[in-house]
Amino acid sequence: KVRESGVFEKVEVAGPGFLNLTVGGGWLAERLNDLASDGNLGISTQGKGKRIVIDYSSPNAAKQMHIGHIRSTVIGCAIDRIFRALGYDVIADNHLGDWGTQFGILIKGYRECLSDDERENLTVANLEKCYVLSAAKAKEEDGVWKDACRAELVKLQKGDPENMALWKRFIDISIGEFERMYGKLGVKFDTYRGESYYNSMMPGVVDRLVSAGLAEESEGALVVKLEAEKLGVAIVRKSDGGYNYTTSDLACVESRMADYDPERIIYVTDDRQQLHFRQFFSIAAKLGCTTKLVHVPFGLMSYQGKAISTREGNLIKLDDLLAEAKRRAYEIVKDRGGDETLAEQIGYGAVKYADLSHDPATAIDFNWDKALALEGNSGPYLQYAYARVCSLLAKAGDDGANVETAAFTVSTPAEKRLALQLLEFPGAVLRSAEAYKPSVLADYLFQTAQLYSSFYQSSPILKSETELRNSRLRLCSLFGRVLKKGLYLLGIEAPVRI
Ligand code: ARG
């Protein structure tokens, strides 16, 4: 039966217990033709008609983004693009940290620790500065400053117009600054519904928890006991009557269900929040939430072998990190005629790939030499492989256009290996989505580039007779398309010239 399938050109018993199945060149050529003729490169459209929300990046407002924000942003963006490619209707939602006690400290600091000029030309850097000054004063013995901050917060919570206007201004300035970073990284959100958006919905959530018999009083607070699931106890209303992160996320789920009716909500945060997500997923289910809730936790990132912390003095601003990436990439490309745009494509791509090539669950170390290496598993290596294919196709000249209609011949081992690998592209995209791991796709692309490189070294292309030449050129072109699409899904650009 295997012989009759037409897939294999050879089936043989290879010692006791083994069968060797050799895939036939003819069958491979047909499959390659199918793949090459599909504008979507065979990627499944299983997501058609299904909606999902992806909650990622989500920095806290009034602070500049730093190196610690890379992972959620870059991993989230890749998952976002992969699910969109699969046909899902994706809503990318930035769950900003835009509410909380820090705003009392900020408002007081804004009023008293900044110059008129700084207040007029308010930037996130100035907000950060006045926060630091104000927070330091709030620690003073007499407690006067602290009380004043508290009073500003209470005014804000009660909807005082002046404080509300200030708060709104802080948020708008923060989003503007975040969008400047997202612009560099090619990240786009459909909505910025921060924590504050859910404020008015929290009492309702707590009421439902109480009437469902899920919440109970404990030492003045209201809690949901999850000991049966070994998840401890989750506070949903503090003893001072305030709500917390759990309540806010419960309200957020209800609101997303009502507004979007998604089949799934994916949250990308660091792994220290695992208990929080397990707790609120469990409570949401008890409240009747049927949407699939997925937490994609990622490990800590260190920088050049050292933990990232203010104490180590390496809490580098994202803006500075990207500038450094660009500067280093420019050093590499400037003598080969590369410009600033190319330096950005390579530098930012290197930063992203250094993260995405690792399983999100693992802790990673960011290292400049490794990220920017032209050899090995790096962003620049893959970009270079793509640029080389482009230059080969350009060199093939005018009849390059004929290449896309050439008949594939797949006969040498190197051709077969590359063909089989290219046929795996749709599978790699799907596996990457199912595991919520862009690293699956990154691994696939790296392996593909390596197989391409051995094919390229062992198979004469431009010097072969016309039919073989065109078949091989078409294989190269297909590799280029797969690589470009794959890099795009990871959020990495593929310049045609390096
Ligand atoms: N702002 C949070 C942080 O900085 C992340 C929010 C994640 N999303 C959520 N729905 N809890 O860690």
Q: Which of 354, 385, 212, 390 is nearest to 286 (CA)?
A: 212
Q: How far apart are CA 434 and CA 82, in angstroms?
A: 10
Q: What angle do CA 471, 460, 373 make, to 5 degrees?
A: 100
Six-digit token string for 9: 């050109």
Helices (H), 357-378: 368-371
Q: Which of 392, 384, 389, 394 is nearest to 498 (CA)?
A: 384
Pairing of strands 8-13, 19-23: antiparallel
Q: How far apart are CA 336 and CA 333, in angstroms?
A: 5
pLDDT value of position 401: 66
Pocket test for ligand 1, best of 54, 58, 69, 300 (most atoms within 8 A of CB): 58
Q: Which residue has the tokens 């290596």?
A: 381
Q: Which residue has the tokens 């596996």?
A: 431
Ligand 1 centre to CA of 165 (Å) is 24
pLDDT value of position 32: 98
Ligand 1 centre to CA of 382 (Å) is 32
Q: How far apart are CA 171 and CA 60, in angstroms?
A: 10
Q: Fill in the amino acid letter for 115.
A: S
Ligand 1 centre to CA of 480 (Å) is 37
pLDDT value of position 145: 97
Ligand 1 centre to CA of 271 (Å) is 11
Pocket test for ligand 1, best of 95, 253, 275 (most atoms within 8 A of CB): 95
For ligand 1, whether the C-beta of 58 sits within 6 Å is yes
Please enumerate in sequence order all residues whose Cβ is within 8 A of that of 205, keeping only pairs 6 or more positions apart, or say none.
236, 247, 250, 251, 254, 287
pLDDT in tens, the chain (498 residues): 887 888 999 999 999 999 999 999 999 999 999 999 999 999 999 999 999 999 999 999 999 999 989 999 999 999 999 999 999 999 999 999 999 999 999 999 999 999 999 999 999 999 999 999 999 999 999 999 999 999 999 999 999 999 999 999 999 999 999 999 999 999 999 999 999 999 999 999 999 999 999 999 999 999 999 999 999 999 999 999 999 999 999 999 999 999 999 999 999 999 999 999 999 999 999 999 999 999 999 999 999 999 888 777 778 999 999 999 999 999 999 998 999 999 999 999 999 999 999 999 999 999 999 999 988 999 999 999 999 999 999 999 855 567 889 999 999 999 999 999 999 999 999 999 999 999 999 999 999 999 999 999 999 999 999 999 999 999 999 999 999 999 999 999 999 998
pLDDT value of position 311: 76
Six-digit token string for 329: 């990439």
Q: Distances from the Cα of 33 to the Cαs of 22, 86, 275, 464, in angstroms?
A: 19, 21, 48, 21
Segment (H or E) for 365: strand 364-366
For 127, how many CA atoms within 13 A lie in the half-sphere containing its CB? 24
The angle, 0 to 180 degrees and rounded to 10, between the axes of the packed helices 413-423 and 466-489 is 30
pLDDT value of position 397: 80
pLDDT value of position 398: 59
Segment (H or E) for 218: strand 215-218
What spatial distance separates the first Cα and last Cα of the chain, rounded to whole Å?
50
- Per-residue three-class SS string for 239-283: CCCCCCHHHHHHHHHHHHHHHHCCCEEEEEEEHHHHHHHHHHHHH
Q: Which of 451, 487, 494 is nearest to 353 (CA)?
A: 487
DSSP 27-46: HHHHHHHHHHH-TTTT---T
pLDDT value of position 312: 75
pTM above 0.85, yes or no: yes
Q: How far apart are CA 296 and CA 129, in angstroms?
A: 33
Ligand 1 centre to CA of 178 (Å) is 15
For ligand 1, whether the C-beta of 493 sits within 6 Å is no
- Please return the burial class of 7, using the count of CB atoms within 10 Å of its CB with bins 0-12, 13-18 and 19+: middle
For ligand 1, whether the C-beta of 491 sits within 6 Å is no
Please enumerate in sequence order all residues whose Cβ is within 8 A of that of 176, keeping only pairs 6 or more positions apart, or say none.
none
